[in-house]
């Protein structure tokens, strides 16, 4: 147990180095796929309707506000430049993996982009024949309140415990969480505090 603080500190340093500097850049493969439109049509049917059995898990989010501007009277160069950009049709994010489909009107192509290690907060911007995904490497996880309960067992029998407290943390992408916590164990009447690293597999 005496080496535990060193292990936690070392894990935090490794996580920081990985997410600050990232992996070495590799050649990005660009592949021809004739089934992108077919997949997109299936995703439209899947994602625009919530079936009755899915309502426990999913909900349709409604916009708080909608702003719009008519393009009549705007410099036609704006529309021409927009046709040269990869404009997002839909996107799906699961854990740290992001998949998005974009269309380029000038090139008459539809593309499917795959990204890894995307954080919780990110933006997607279409540029000429490409998209830029800007993702935060570090996120403050806020402060939360917890209530824990359980049973411990040893040679002298079993004992229950109930503890409550607060915790906070700093997330590195969606894989690593450096967390700190403090609380009170109700049964023993003792205060406790600590820190740890959570790794999502």
* Stated pTM of the model: 0.72
Query: pLDDT of 19-60, one tens digit each?
Result: 555 555 667 888 889 999 999 999 998 999 888 888 889 888
Query: pLDDT of 55-100, one tens digit each?
Result: 889 888 999 999 998 887 777 888 889 999 999 999 999 988 999 9
pLDDT of residue 168: 92
Residue environment code for 29-56, b if the CB has 16+ CB neighbours within 10 A, otherwise e: eeeeeeeeeeeeeeeeeeeeeeeeeeee
DSSP class of 61? P
Question: What does the alpha-carbon distance between residue 91 and residue 40 come to, in Å, rounded to a whole number?
Answer: 10
């Amino acid at each position: 147990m005496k080496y535990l603080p060193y292990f936690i500190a070392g894990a935090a340093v490794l996580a920081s180095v990985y997410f600050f500097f990232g992996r070495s850049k590799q050649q990005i493969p660009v592949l021809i796929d004739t089934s992108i439109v077919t997949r997109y049509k299936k995703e439209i049917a899947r994602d625009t309707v919530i079936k009755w059995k899915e309502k426990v898990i999913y909900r349709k989010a409604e916009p708080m506000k909608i702003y719009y501007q008519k393009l009549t009277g705007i410099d036609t160069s704006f529309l021409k430049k927009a046709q040269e950009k990869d404009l997002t049709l839909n996107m799906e994010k699961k854990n740290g993996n992001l998949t998005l489909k974009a269309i380029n009107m000038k090139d008459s192509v539809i593309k499917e982009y795959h990204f890894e290690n995307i954080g919780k907060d990110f933006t997607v911007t279409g540029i000429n024949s490409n998209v830029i995904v800007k993702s935060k490497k570090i996120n403050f996880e806020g402060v939360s309140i917890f209530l824990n309960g359980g049973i411990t067992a040893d040679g002298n029998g079993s004992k229950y415990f109930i503890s409550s407290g607060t915790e906070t943390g700093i997330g590195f992408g969606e894989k690593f969480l450096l967390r700190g916590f403090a609380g009170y164990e109700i049964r023993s009447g003792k205060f406790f505090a600590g820190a740890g690293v959570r790794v999502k597999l």
